[in-house]
Homo-oligomer: A and B are copies of this chain.
């Protein structure tokens, strides 16, 4: 279909050269948006070249353009002027583009975004200057660096601080090997609109079961069955909300590579254990890693459905083959799902160039025809497809260490073994640009304050994940802050209905439930560099504090905002705030549904909800609450519009008990 006129919000596809066969869109869900042929409209904007190295795509841009995206970037917010190498990697320590979840999609503040449909390690140069032809010389730049205040440690920083890079008048993409590529040019009135369409192109955002939005606790990997049951009991006894209990590696007989077999010395009665946990309101999540150890029952069947190199003596299954996905799904259903497992944590489907170069070579051959480079880019999404299939019609919400392009619909939250809190916050801010969810998981802490600061960030993120995989005790016990942690996790539980509505918009409209302020407020210049705050749903702005200070600057967009904890009113603008808790602000005019917290969520849960009315609200002000008919993919959803006067039971899930006015 060709459309001659640019629609304000649309997705256009332009094909250059001969695209490869193994590309992300081949394995992605059906788009939930129209995709128009953009050749006539936008084809000329690009210059495309197929070379012996692959493909090269260039797009002239206004040098003032701002560029966001590229997946779960933990080291930079605005990528203007930088180079991004789109390659999965577990432990990057610099801003190279490497990440658990790289995505060849960026969005600009100029009304468009670009998704390049490739499974190659593409490199995006987000602003380079082409050589002039004779006569067009621009005699700028070349200042001698100011190293007046440089000492040894800042010398290199000083050297690079003043490099004037010309005009950055072109964005180019270097796509190895491919002799062509499909490009999706997405127009929208703002970043949110472009990102939402990218997510609809991806099949819409995932819709977790409500329990997925509660709290997840992962137990020490050394624990035996009785120790797992004991820590579960302790969580309940100490009134710490917990919906999901996760088991770490040693539930298996072999790990790294994995046997996918219960270690019955440590876990003599897995089924009984799962049963007990379920009765106590826990969903059980199992850690696993995709490489299949020779002792695994999966090994022989997977042998010919695997790449031609082993990793840690384990097979690398080729989940680009439907039959390999089915083998894994069937095995998981029979062995884990049927006994009551609700979700999985899928580890090490990225790779580790910064931790010894582990994982399979980029030139690995897979029976599907994918090579190692392509498969690295697809591994996470395909692996999660296979595991998700095992859960049958039931919705799930798991964790994964690699996702790639067009992955918004996969019900997995990314996590990392990295642990810098500031980087983790940036992950929260950035993940929403690319159809990803990110859990800034909490493990150990330096001290009490660090524990609380990290929990605060976890509470206001897509998943509240406590990963005590190397801690025998509840992590906050040694810091003596159980009461404070309980209170924070209860805050999370009180916001689950609000967050569930946000996820419903993610699912149906592609709107990321957690996102950078620039998505909605790019008209306000402060948003362009606002990298340490984010929207949590439509109505809340979260500005995490990193341990070591209790003050920070907070920028609030135009309008009125109210401190979520104290009710203090703020006008738009930058405020220096001194706080005891994490700065969270609610937009004036919001009707925020706040639930009485529960310790876990099941189908009998009914949320008693108080409507918090912020600032100027009236009878026309509303919010929504969403009910699902069940926890399957076939569920029907009811959207309840709630106003100041709504009271009583909306559905078995919600009961509106009253209003609190905050002015």
Q: Which of A91, A150, A176, A222 gathers the greatest number of chain B CB atoms within 10 Å?
A: A176
A135 to B308, CA, bound (A): 15
A401: interface (CB < 8 Å): no
A213 to B227, CA, bound (A): 66
User: B444 contacts A151, CB within 8 Å?
Assistant: yes
**Nearest 3 interchain pairs by C-beta:** A83-B357, A142-B254, A141-B313
User: B128 contacts A91, CB within 8 Å?
Assistant: no
- A161-169, A234-242, A329-337, A648-656: which lies at the interface: A161-169
Q: A139-B295, A155-B417 are in contact. Are A123 and B53 (CB under 8 A)?
A: no
- In the assembled complex, how far is the CB of residue A616 from the closest CB belonging to chain B, in whole angstroms? 46
A284 to B184, CA, bound (A): 56
Q: Is the interface of A mostly helix, strand, loop or mixed?
A: loop
- In the assembled complex, how far is the CB of residue A104 from the closest CB belonging to chain B, in whole angstroms? 15
Complex partner residue of A363 from B82, B151, B172, B314, CB under 8 angstroms: B172
A side interface size, CB within 8 A: 97
Would you give the 0/1 interface string for A228-256, flagging 1 where the beta carbon is closer than 8 Å to chain B? 00000000000000000000011011111
- In the assembled complex, how far is the CB of residue A140 from the closest CB belonging to chain B, in whole angstroms? 6
Would you give the 0/1 interface string for A132-147, flagging 1 where the beta carbon is closer than 8 Å to chain B? 1010011111111101
A132 to B81, CA, bound (A): 46
A252 to B143, CA, bound (A): 10
- In the assembled complex, how far is the CB of residue A449 from the closest CB belonging to chain B, in whole angstroms? 15
Complex partner residue of A53 from B56, B82, B147, B371, CB under 8 angstroms: B371
A344: interface (CB < 8 Å): no
A358 to B362, CA, bound (A): 25
User: B315 contacts A470, CB within 8 Å?
Assistant: no
Q: Which residues from chain B contact A258 at a C-beta distance below 8 Å? A: 142
User: B174 contacts A363, CB within 8 Å?
Assistant: yes
Q: Could you tell me which A residues sit within 8 Å of B by CB distance?
A: 51-54, 56, 81-85, 91, 93-96, 123, 125, 128-132, 134, 137-145, 147-148, 150-152, 155-156, 158-160, 162-166, 172, 174, 176-177, 221-222, 249-250, 252-259, 293-295, 299-300, 303-304, 306-315, 352-358, 361-363, 371, 373, 417, 419, 443-444, 470
A587 to B362, CA, bound (A): 46
Q: Which residues from chain B contact A419 at a C-beta distance below 8 Å? A: 152
**Besides the contacts A131-B307, A131-B310, A163-B256, what 4 more A-B pairs have beta carbons closer than 8 Å?**
A125-B357, A143-B256, A145-B255, A174-B361
User: A144 contacts B310, CB within 8 Å?
Assistant: no
A252 to B257, CA, bound (A): 57
User: A141 contacts B312, CB within 8 Å?
Assistant: yes
Q: Which residues from chain B contact A373 at a C-beta distance below 8 Å? A: 53
User: A142 contacts B256, CB within 8 Å?
Assistant: yes
User: A353 contacts B96, CB within 8 Å?
Assistant: yes
User: B128 contacts A361, CB within 8 Å?
Assistant: yes
Q: Which residues from chain B contact A125 at a C-beta distance below 8 Å? A: 357, 361
User: A131 contacts B353, CB within 8 Å?
Assistant: no
User: A357 contacts B96, CB within 8 Å?
Assistant: yes
A155 to B467, CA, bound (A): 12
- In the assembled complex, how far is the CB of residue A90 from the closest CB belonging to chain B, in whole angstroms? 9
Q: A160-B355, A164-B312 are in contact. Are A362 and B123 (CB under 8 A)?
A: yes
User: B249 contacts A144, CB within 8 Å?
Assistant: yes
Complex partner residue of A138 from B51, B176, B294, CB under 8 angstroms: B294
User: B129 contacts A309, CB within 8 Å?
Assistant: yes
